[in-house]
Structure 1
């Protein structure tokens, strides 16, 4: 379907500049799901299938979450008194007993929740085939039995059926089986994702597990998979405030294995040292920043301005609904701003324009998908949000982009589009599976909890 958007306060976030690309009264033309033209003032007089007059509302890129766990959508409010590993026990202790169909509906629900909140692309960590085990001395035993392969593939199916664009992040479960069995299992999962519609399944990646793996060669296994199958890698790394020296010592495993490069992302990357930041930046690795999650789990504050100063590329993620509770990208941006300013006592350390770029194009860049998403530019997918600063009224727009970041939010989000198609209006999904996803989620997860004797009621 062709679409012409008019009378928009356009925020384009173009590549190659720090300018947010603001156009006070702009237009954008969409054909076959992609942006074919945009500009200021009135559009050229050509035919259009549908005209969307946003009457002065903001039109901005859909948010990109560079670190997400969409299967956790039914697990909000758990582990509130815990840091990372205790919270994982409370949450993943339940999904350890979920079925492939349970996890499908949970993922679908989570993806629809992201879309309703303006997040149109996600790097999605799937729940691994090997169920969660409690951490002991900073590692897992890695002895839990494997679940059926469908447990992973149904999570990818849930993303596709929701209509969110995603990079599928797959755990290698490197303690289960021989090395060739591990590679074969991973290859099959990658093949399933790559057989999907490439407009939505944007790529496959490794869920890096060196942080908690008992294998001393876990980094080498991951690097071999990166090279053998042409995939990226994002590792949860240096996140929790516990056992920091042990965590930091594992950085050498990735460095010595040759992992540092543009295909290597570090998720969280909080408990760093100047030397670790310098080496990661010099090697070309990037990081994904989750301020709302880091605050919720008392993990700390990542040294993001210092990393950017060193030349590291940085994206932003919402992590998961179980540790941000409301998957709100505006809340995430504002938390990022206030955390950094409180830490540095310097307002210039994190400005609204920068944090908006990190949560859109910056995330797309570290995920390797910036040629398709992350900004409103000709040739890219027409993934955008419509945000009305008069519903409710946020007051005069003295600096429109700063008001968009600081004063707007989910209350102002009226519509979300993916590929020029309306996917959510007023927070209500247009997806025909949405009602069933909600019903299934409310039915299946409490039954799992009751079997475990952990139901909160």
Structure 2
């Protein structure tokens, strides 16, 4: 176990303006109704015991006994769900050993707490963490539940199942059938929800991992590469991560050998796959059909595709303003990883990769139009304005703004099996982001929540970021 404990005590009481049980009537805000796709002006909402008790507009309810908080005409929407946020991860260390990259991830309390506070400051109230140190994830949940830490609710996968040269406490590679089932059991007993299978596994290992996950009540999710999505679906996979279905057998047969020849040149082959793919081919049409039939959850993380294509100009993807609320160690690791992946690229490779982004967007649009359940995830750590950027990339793919908002809120909750999250409605958890501008008109409004309610407690953005900065000192 690599995570460290800290004696620093920035608890909830330091900057939350109300207790969990306290009744508060929030009023004078415009409610963003992601179900009815409407803006409801002059709204009010009564919150008590962390739950939305009642909701209305116009005149406040008569005879209420609660603190009244005027929200100054701001917009209120359900808290965002980042469905791919490694909130307990960092710092990442990437070294070249015997000519091969070795990635380790150490979980450190101070960085985790920074990530959590920054996530809330950007309106993210729930995260799905698709892999990390199992004990660090359980440690996070314990401290959030006790109120000692402040941050989003998290649903985790434990150690990522991936062969060497990945190592450290965030990765495991079982070497026997018994070891596979033992690892799944350990993760389930630690409270994990998902079992993450990674790119280096063989088809046989993938099938064993899915079987082990299901035997212990875990959902099997995967980031795949040479093993195809179609094969994983046949094996019973529950969810797929990243818009990178980059196996040769999904390409036209005439392109497969040339595509495989690109692999030794670093991450350029990922863009080359999109350059070559024919979405109307029998292979891809069969994939779309089975994804739709089985309603398999997909998490596209389009930011990853952008960063791969712009590895020589990452500041065009994440600029200095964005970095101000992201942990510097995590971003430095991302820069190093992207730079190493593109170290063998030629100038024409960058041009090709950027042109291929149009095919990435087409892929996202086709998946959405086929009725396949999509979630919005960043592949970040929860912190910073990456959710707003990821949502804009989905919008750029041709998905309507209201639908993108739904994918980041109630549809993600439904896909994740969270029946009281993702809506501003009576009986739902009081997870609400207050914004200074209309998020339907522009997702730029999502880059900064002026205030947030999580589990019924109210925080201002300034207080959250001030607390986060304490963990940078």
**TM-score after normalising by structure 2:** 0.66
The answer to whether 1:418 aligns with 2:454 is yes
Question: SS at 1:320's partner residue?
Answer: coil
Question: Matches of 1:171 and 1:351 in 2, distance apart?
Answer: 36
**In 2 relative to 1, CA 205–415 (structure 1 residues): closer, same or farther, beyond 3 Å?**
same
Paired residues of 1:7 and 1:55 also in contact (CA < 8 A): yes
What is the CA distance between 1:171 and its match in structure 2? 3.2
Task: Give yes or no for contact 2:88–2:137 (8 Å, CA) kept in 1.
Answer: no
* Match in the other structure for 2:70: 53
CA deviations over 1:336-373 (Å, ceiling 9, x no partner): 222x1xxxxxxxx322111111111222222222x121
Distance, in Å, in 1 between the alignment partners of 2:406 and 2:42 is: 21
Q: Deviations over 1:237-290 (max 9, x none)?
A: 45xxxxxxxx3x53243233233xxxx121123447332222222122121122
Q: For residue 430 of structure 2, what is the aligned residue in structure 1?
A: 382
User: Given the alignment of the two structures, is residue 266 of structure 1 paired with residue 300 of structure 2, yes or no?
Assistant: no
> Tell me, what secondary structure is at the counterpart of 2:128?
strand
Return the alpha-carbon distance in structure 2 between the equivalents of residues 386 and 54 of structure 1: 8
Residues 423 and 251 of structure 1: CA distance in aligned 2, closer, same or farther (over 3 Å) = same
Is 2:219 aligned against 1:208? no
C-alpha distance in structure 1 between counterparts of 2:185 and 2:51, whole Å: 31
Distance 1:258 1:409, change over 3 A: closer
> TM-score, normalised to structure 1's length?
0.68
Offset of residue 123 of structure 1: 0.3
CA distance in 2, matches of 1:126, 1:427: 29
What secondary structure sits across from 2:84 in the alignment? strand
Partners in 2 of 1:221 and 1:111 — Cα distance? Answer: 34
Question: Is 1:127 the counterpart of 2:132 in the alignment?
Answer: yes
Change (3 A) 1:4 1:430: farther
Name the structure 1 match of 2:116.
111
Distance in 2 (CA, whole Å) between partners of 1:162 and 1:325 is: 13
From the superposition, tell whether residues 253 and 406 of structure 1 become closer, same or farther in structure 2 (CA, over 3 Å).
Answer: closer
Alpha carbons of structure 1 residues 191 and 423: separation in structure 2 relative to 1, 3 Å: farther
* Counterpart selection for 1:93 from 103, 115, 120: 103
- Say if 2:77 and 2:434, in contact at 8 Å, map to a contact too: yes
Is 2:244 the partner of 1:186?
no
Post-superposition offset of 1:421: 0.3
Q: Which of 150, 154, 157 does residue 166 from structure 1 map onto?
A: 154
Q: Describe the superposition over 1:199-232 as per-residue Cα deviations: whole angstroms up to 9, x where unpaired.
A: xxxx6111132x321x432232232234222222
In the alignment, the residues of structure 1 paired with residue 228 and residue 395 of structure 2 have an alpha-carbon distance, to the nearest angstrom, of: 29
Alpha-carbon distance between aligned partners in 1 of 2:87 and 2:426, rounded to the nearest angstrom:
29
Q: What SS class does the counterpart of residue 297 from structure 1 fall into?
A: helix
Q: CA deviation at 1:182?
A: 2.9
After TM superposition, the structure 1 stretch with the greater mean CA deviation from structure 2, 56-65 or 267-276, is 267-276
State the match for 1:143 in structure 2.
Answer: none
Query: Aligned in 2, Cα 1:388/1:74: closer, same or farther, shift over 3 Å?
Result: farther
User: Which residue, out of 9, 20, 23, partners 1:2?
Assistant: 23
Q: Which runs of 5+ in 2 are unaligned?
A: 1-21, 162-171, 251-283, 310-352
Q: 1:291 aligns with which of 285, 294, 302?
A: 302
2:228 aligns with one of 246, 250, 253: 250
CA contact (8 A) 1:353 1:401 kept: no
Deviations 1:139-180 (A, max 9, x none): xxxxxxxxxx64554455576533311111123636334323
Residue of structure 2 equivalent to 1:38: 55
Which residue in 1 is equivalent to 2:390? Answer: 332
Contact 2:75 2:435 in 1 (8 A): yes
Contact conserved, 1:104 with 1:157, CA < 8 A, in 2?
Answer: no
CA contact (8 A) 2:420 2:429 kept: yes
Deviation at 1:430, TM superposition (A): 8.0
Figure out how many residues of one structure are paired with residues of the other and give that number.
350
Structure 1 residue 438, shift from structure 2 partner: 3.0
SS of equivalent residue, structure 2 residue 40: strand
Give distance in 2, aligned partners of 1:106 and 1:112. Answer: 10
Kept in 2: contact 1:34–1:378 (CA 8 A):
yes
Match of 1:139 in 2: none
Distance change >3 Å, CA 166–CA 278, structure 1 → 2: same
